Amino acid sequence: MDPTLLLTWLALIWRRGFGWLDQATMISALAFFVPGVVLAYISETARNRRRQRRRSGLCEFCGYDLRGTRERCPECGKVTAAQRRKLAAKKSPRVKADVPCVQCRFNLRDRPIRGECPQCGHSVRRALLEHIATITGHSEAQAQFVWAASSHVFRRMQFSGPGPLKHLTARDFCLGLRDYAIEQSGNPERALILLKDMGFRSSEDIGEIVFGMVGVGLLHARPEDRPEDFVGLFTVDQLFTAQPLV
């Protein structure tokens, strides 16, 4: 928002008020409201400045010209954005199947999942999710949601306590997806509507997407894991009832 416009709006409120608010109440409200707006504006301005510097080949922290520099800014010593992407790509798992880039049809096999297509720069992970949606007959929104839910489930397992991580079963994954939907929606009723609107009808839908991700390397499965593990676990309505899953 334009800060000049914001200040004009605040001045108008100050002069006219809301009728039922006295001046003391207005001062208290503004004391909480204005600092938050100012901090948000400063944060967004800094983010835009860093983004613009990256696009111009400058150090996002100090503005030094990085053309010809690969790893660190010689002025401030910070690791460059290109080097951070390269390091992340080295640690990233690789695509395990022949998956064409949706933009240029380049074969992404053995490319880092966190990387980009070397031909057109399209996100490899985004291309994988689009590919999974195509081969399973589900929407890209469903694939994106299952991927986000998997990250939520794995994070929750990591912080569940000391000791080795337990094996994540099909039932565990479905319950984790339900909890993620509730977290995103605010309550079970809205979460149920969200899942139905995206097209989820049963645990089989989730299993098809999960094993599509296993096939390309986005997720990993044990040898004993099967797509059939998701068959007959629940319908979406049953997932949000008190009835235990079988």
* Contacts of range 189-194, beta carbons closer than 8 Å, 24 or more positions apart: 191/240, 192/236, 192/237, 192/239, 192/240
The residue assigned the tokens 């949606």 is 133
99 backbone φψ class: left, alpha, beta (φ>0; ψ -120 to 50): beta
Give Cα 60 distance to the centre of its chain. Answer: 23
Query: Using N-to-C axis directions, what is the helix angle for 124-136 and 140-158, rounded to 10°?
Result: 120
Please, which residues bridge with residue 202 across strands?
A: 235
Domain boundaries, the chain: 3-55, 64-90, 92-239
Predicted TM-score of the model (pTM): 0.62
User: How does pLDDT run along the chain (246 residues), one tens digit per residue?
Assistant: 555 555 566 666 555 555 555 666 666 666 777 777 788 888 888 888 888 887 777 787 787 787 766 677 777 877 776 666 666 556 667 888 888 888 888 898 888 887 888 888 888 888 999 999 999 999 999 999 999 999 888 877 765 554 455 678 888 899 889 999 998 988 888 999 999 999 999 999 999 999 999 999 888 888 889 999 999 888 888 887 744 434
Please, which residues bridge with residue 79 across strands?
A: 72
pLDDT on residue 70: 64
Percent of the chain that is helix, strand, coil (3-state, to 5)? 55, 5, 40
Q: Which residues contact 231 (CB under 8 A, 6 or more apart)?
A: 203, 204, 207
**CA dihedral sign of residues 176, 203, 218, 193:** negative
Q: What is the DSSP letter of 116?
A: B
227 touches 213 (CB < 8 A):
no
pLDDT on residue 206: 93
pLDDT on residue 242: 44
